[in-house]
Structures are given as structure tokens and as C-alpha cells.
Structure 1
Amino acid sequence: MQCQIRPAIPADAPAISAVIITTLRESNARDYSPQIIADVEQHFCPTSILSLMGKRQMYVAVIGQDVVGTASLDQAVVRSVFIRPDCQRLGIGQRLMARLKDAALAAHLDELHVPSSLTAESFYARLGFRKVRDEFHGEERTVIMHLRLDA
């Protein structure tokens, strides 16, 4: 199974939205209440994805014609890393993160930050990110993590 990482295009917005919502419902639901999942989903409809494309460097992982993952870089902040549940643990997230790291280095950044879900904390830790602190947005707990970049 060949996976391609490429910049997201506007036509990808519905598929990106579907990947994120599916992942929230299947993977993140183990760590967050149904209400928190529903609240977060509201930020990832196709129209919101299109808006985010104009503000972030957004990438997709594609197998065949199917978008199976996404990740974004908002200056030095990693955002919205989601891999479709049936494609998790295949190295796709690592490949997306490598693309974000390359983009950060090209922008002469010396560090990355990520507001991680509880679900993804161990993923980022395996990539070298270190926990800085917890943040709470109402009932939603987010783990703020940091990575120093080496050129």
C-alpha cells in the first residue's frame, strides 16, 4: 500500500473533514466524553477546513485516491494531526510529522509546539516531543508539548 504525502487542496476539504470526524468518534472517544467530541467536531466541517487551508500549511496522506490522514503547521504549532482509524499504526502519522518538520526547518524555526489530545500524547512523545503542561478548555484536557528542532 503506497501512501503519498502532499499539500492539501480545496477539493480535499470534505475528505479531510470526514477523516477528522471519524477519528474523533472512533479513536479520541476513548479519552473524551461524547459532549467534548461533539464540540470539537463542530470546528472541522468542510467549510472550516477550507478556511484553515488559508491560514496553515495543510498536508494530506493519500492512498490511491483516498485521503487517509492530515496534518497542519500554523507557524511553529502543529495542528490537526488525524489518521483514519483503519490506517493508524502504519507509519502515516510519522510521515506527516516528518513533512511538517521539514516545513518548519525550511521556515528557519527552531522549535515546534503541539496542543495534543490525550489520545495522541504517546505518539508525539515517541517523536521526541516533551510535555510542558496541561491546559483545560472547559472539560477538555489538552497536553501542551514541545520539540527542539535540529537543522
Structure 2
Amino acid sequence: MNVKVRPARTADAGAISRVVLAALRTSNARDYPASVIERVQLSFSPAAIDRLMQQRRMFVAVSGEVVVGTASLEGQVVRSVFVDPDRHRRGIGRLLMAELEHVAREAGLELLIVPSSLTAQEFYTALGFRLVREHQEGVERTLIMERQLRT
């Protein structure tokens, strides 16, 4: 599979929304109750994605012209890393994270922080992130993880 990572464009908002919603409804739904999934989904409509593009450096992974993943960087915080559930475990998430790390290093950042879902903890741990603390908001549990970029 030939996948490339590029900056997200406004025209990608609908495709990004579809990838995120599919991942939330399949992967994340195993670790979170339906009420949490329903609430989080509201933040990822095409219009909301378009607004997020103005605040973050957002990237997409594309196979041909099809968006198969997304990730963004807001300062030193990794945000919204999602891969099409039908394409999990094919290195797409790693490609996206490598791009975010490259952008962070170019910006002179020394630390990446990711508020991880329970679903993604193993993925981030495999990339060298370590759990710093947990954040509980109602029934939603988020794991705050960090990775030093400079040694």
C-alpha cells in the first residue's frame, strides 16, 4: 500500500470527518461508553474539522486520493490521530506521527504531549511516549503521555 502524508486542505474536511467518526464508532467504542462517543463525535463534523485546521497544523495520510488517516499538532500537543479502522496496523499511524515529530523538531520543540484515549495507549507507548498522569472528566478517562524529542 502506497500511503503519503501531506498537509490537510479545506477540501479534505469531509473525508477527515468520515475517518475520525469511523474510528470513534469502531475502535474507541470498545473502551468508552456510547455517551462519550456521541459527545466526542460532535467535535468532528466537517465544519468543526475546518475550524480545527485554522488552529492546528493538520495532516492527512492518503492512499491515492483517499484520506485514510489524520493527525495534527497544536504547539507541542499531538491532537486527533485517527486511522481508518479498515487500515489499522499497516503503519499509517506511525507515518503520521513521524511527520508530526519532524514538524515539531523543525519548530525547535523538545517535548511532545499527547492526551491519549485508552484505545491508543499501546500505540503511543510503542512510539516511546510514557504515561505522565490521567485525566478524568465524567466517565471519560484520558491518559496524558509525553515523549522527549531531545536527549
TMscore range, shorter length: over 0.9
- Distance between the aligned counterparts of 1:87 and 1:137, measured in 2? 30
- 1:92 aligned partner: 92
Matched residue pairs, number?
151
The alignment's TM-score, normalised by the length of structure 1, stands at 0.98
The alignment's TM-score, normalised by the length of structure 2, stands at 0.98
Contiguous gaps of at least 5 residues in structure 1: none
After TM superposition, list the pairs within 5 Å mapping 1:1-151 onto structure 2: 1-150=1-150
- Distance between the aligned counterparts of 1:34 and 1:95, measured in 2? 30
Residue 43 of structure 1 and its aligned partner are, at CA, apart by: 0.4
- Residue by residue over 1:100-148, the C-alpha shift from the partner in whole angstroms, topping out at 9 and shown as x without a partner, is 0000000000000000000000000000000001101211000000000
- Distance between the aligned counterparts of 1:35 and 1:68, measured in 2? 26
Residue identity matched to 2:32:
Y
- Distance between the aligned counterparts of 1:5 and 1:88, measured in 2? 16
Residue 64 of structure 1 and its aligned partner are, at CA, apart by: 1.3
Residue identity matched to 1:4:
K
- Distance between the aligned counterparts of 1:102 and 1:2, measured in 2? 20
- Residue by residue over 1:18-76, the C-alpha shift from the partner in whole angstroms, topping out at 9 and shown as x without a partner, is 00000000000000001100000000000000000011000000001110000000000
Residue 150 of structure 1 and its aligned partner are, at CA, apart by: 2.6
- Distance between the aligned counterparts of 2:150 and 2:60, measured in 1? 24
Residue identity matched to 1:105:
R
Q: CA RMSD in A?
A: 0.8
Overall identity of the aligned pairs, in %: 54
Contiguous gaps of at least 5 residues in structure 2: none
Regions of 4+ moved over 3 Å: none
